[in-house]
Amino acid sequence: MEQSESKTVAGASFRCLNCLLSTPNSFKCVHCGSHPQKVVWEYPHLKPGTLLHGRYIIGRTLGQGGFAITYLGLQEGLNRRVAIKEYYPAELADREESTHTVQVRRSLGNATDNQEFYRHGLDRFLEEGRNIVQCHQPRPHPNLVQVTDYFEENGTAYLVMDYVEGVSLEEFLKSQPSGRLDEREALAIIMPLLDGLGMVHARGFMHRDVKPANVYISKDNEIILLDFGAARQSFGRERNTLTVMLTPGYAPPEQYTESGDQGPWSDVYGAAATLYKALPAETPPSAMARLSGTVLPAPNSFAEVRINGRLNRAVMAGLALDRKERIQSASAFKDALQRPNKINQILVTTHLAQKESGGRVNFGKLRRLSPVAVQRIHQPFHRPVAGGGRHAREEGRQAGNQGFGAAGKRIVQRHAAVF
């Protein structure tokens, strides 16, 4: 670790290279307290002050994962702060400090294979940027990260995104004394997340890495889905190391194999696991552990969790190991969470579809539904599901009297210190 005193950008002497805001003197930034021209820097990150693509000034590093490094940046001319994500697969890459160039690491094995793996991942990284841009057509979606530019430079690729101040859901949960949220706060986060996922699926894409670390809560109380997993998934398949690229507890069984039948239902699993984590403050067991016999406790089986039965059933249905028994889409999951008796109809419809396609209907899975709902298994597919009884009607009255807006505001207001 060292302090960067980069003078790469002319005229940047009164621009703090940590926060990239203007400061009246060159000794201490009035915004972040840092020395404007002496910013902590670590290899292999780009040094603060580096200029990219002729118009983006690099500031401090915001984070690094196994496949990318994210920096705070400033778009010159517009004087707009951005987040810049650099493709940097640590397993394969090294950087020439003097030129910023990323080079594929030589190995004892076949260097040509490393080049192919690297290029394949880079192409998928750029594809991620193009896909996100398409998700914002014809108008921007408030619950998806926005990519405003993408380009290749320094032997690698970059995505330029809106910079939004806030915290990830993972960080937010850690800041809570109990590590969890109440029902209304959890729903205030998951509902906008499902809206964003629905747009991704409507454009024909998948996210593939829905988890608390990729759900962002902004200072303005917006819920934003980050970090699509296309490059990681592609890299894993090419290297035959797919399981390493997954996040245990949030990835469904079909993502563990190349031949797995993936679709919107796969992202539903990740969203359900994210909601599960927010309720009892427990990460669900991995899909592989569950297939080996580890039991997934229902959220309401934890003594400290107080949620209604509809929400409990919806979460468990979203975490079904068999994708044919799982809730099939983000919109269906949202309906199951917010509409009285809708979870019964969705589950029955899922089982009917499986039955009509020749699949075996597991009536044991339906034992917690109302008797009327179970009987509908034997009736025509197009007929609506009725019933639910007094308890369901009570849930309906409760849902009708509750909105998520106030709870969403409380999330930021009550814990403003987190930001």
The whole-number pLDDT of residue 246 equals 84
Domain boundary among 117, 134, 162: 162
Q: How far apart (Å, rounded) are the C-alpha atoms in residues 66 and 49?
A: 24
**What separation in angstroms does the CA of 328 have from each of 28, 44, 87, 264, 350?**
54, 42, 32, 6, 8
Q: How far apart (Å, rounded) are the C-alpha atoms in residues 390 and 8?
A: 70
Alpha carbon 320 to chain centroid distance? 20
Answer yes or no: do 136 and 190 share one domain. no
Contact 215, 172 (CB under 8 A): no
| Structural domain for 357, as ranges | 166-418
Both tokens of residue 397? 């009255």
Domain boundary among 131, 162, 193: 162
Answer yes or no: do 117 and 194 share one domain. no
Contact 26, 34 (CB under 8 A): no
Q: Given the structure tokens 């930001």, which residue do they identify?
A: 419
Answer yes or no: do 95 and 173 share one domain. no
The whole-number pLDDT of residue 399 equals 39
Mean pLDDT over 142-151 rounds to 96
pTM for the full predicted model: 0.77
Lowest mean pLDDT among 101-110, 132-141, 345-354: 345-354
Domain count, the chain: 2
* pLDDT digits 0-9 by tens, 173-204: 999 999 999 999 999 999 999 999 999 999 99
Answer yes or no: do 228 and 115 share one domain. no
The whole-number pLDDT of residue 25 equals 73
Q: Given the structure tokens 């080049």, which residue do they identify?
A: 115
Name residue 376's amino acid.
R
Q: What is the CATH number of the domain that holds 343?
A: 1.10.510.10
* pLDDT digits 0-9 by tens, 328-374: 999 999 999 987 566 666 665 665 555 554 444 343 443 343 333 33
Q: How far apart (Å, rounded) are the C-alpha atoms in residues 104 and 92?
A: 6
Both tokens of residue 130? 């193009």
Name residue 250's amino acid.
Y
Answer yes or no: do 304 and 173 share one domain. yes
Answer yes or no: do 54 and 185 share one domain. no
Q: Given the structure tokens 């307290």, which residue do they identify?
A: 33
For the chain, what percent of residues have pLDDT higher than 90? 57
Answer yes or no: do 225 and 373 share one domain. yes
* pLDDT digits 0-9 by tens, 42-57: 889 999 999 999 999 9
Residue 29 has pLDDT above 60, yes or no: yes
Domain boundary among 162, 184, 219: 162
Answer yes or no: do 45 and 189 share one domain. no
Q: Which of 42, 37, 43 is nearest to 57 (CA)?
A: 37
The whole-number pLDDT of residue 378 equals 35
The whole-number pLDDT of residue 10 equals 44
* pLDDT digits 0-9 by tens, 58-103: 999 999 888 899 999 999 989 999 999 999 998 889 998 788 999 9
Q: How many CB atoms are closer than 10 A to CB 104?
A: 18
The whole-number pLDDT of residue 380 equals 34
Answer yes or no: do 181 and 65 share one domain. no
Answer yes or no: do 188 and 71 share one domain. no
Q: How far apart (Å, rounded) are the C-alpha atoms in residues 146 and 160?
A: 8
Name residue 366's amino acid.
L
The whole-number pLDDT of residue 113 equals 80
Answer yes or no: do 210 and 285 share one domain. yes
352: phi then psi, degrees, rounded to nearest 5: -65, -45
Q: How far apart (Å, rounded) are the C-alpha atoms in residues 228 and 41?
A: 27
The whole-number pLDDT of residue 144 equals 96
**What separation in angstroms does the CA of 262 have from each of 72, 257, 267, 322, 347?**
34, 10, 9, 12, 19
* pLDDT digits 0-9 by tens, 196-239: 999 999 999 999 999 999 999 999 999 999 988 654 454 444 44
* pLDDT digits 0-9 by tens, 364-390: 443 343 333 333 333 333 333 333 433
The whole-number pLDDT of residue 33 equals 84
The whole-number pLDDT of residue 388 equals 40
The whole-number pLDDT of residue 40 equals 79
Q: What is the CATH number of the domain that holds 59?
A: 3.30.200.20
Alpha carbon 38 to chain centroid distance? 33
The whole-number pLDDT of residue 7 equals 40
Average pLDDT, the chain: 80
Answer yes or no: do 153 and 198 share one domain. no
The whole-number pLDDT of residue 312 equals 95
Mean pLDDT over 104-125 rounds to 80
Between 139 and 11, residue with greater pLDDT: 139
- Spell out the SS3 assignment of the chain: CEEECCCCCCCCCCECCCCCCECCCCCCCCCCCCECCEEEECCCCCCCCCEECCCEEEEEEEEECCCEEEEEEEECCCCEEEEEEEECCCCCEEECCCCCCEEECCCCCCHHHHHHHHHHHHHHHHHHHHHHHHHCCCCCCCCECCEEEEEEECCEEEEEEECCCEEEHHHHHHHCCCCCCCHHHHHHHHHHHHHHHHHHHHCCCCCCCCCHHHEEEECCCCEEECCCCHHHHHHHHHHCCHHHHCCCCCCCHHHHCCCCCCCHHHHHHHHHHHHHHHCCCCCCCCHHHHHCCCCCCCHHHCCCCCCCHHHHHHHHHHCCCCHHHCCCCHHHHHHHHHCCCHHHHHHHHHHHHHHHCCCCCCHHHHCCCCHHHHHHHHCCCCCCCCCCHHHHHHHHHHHHCCCCHHHHHHHHHHCHHHC
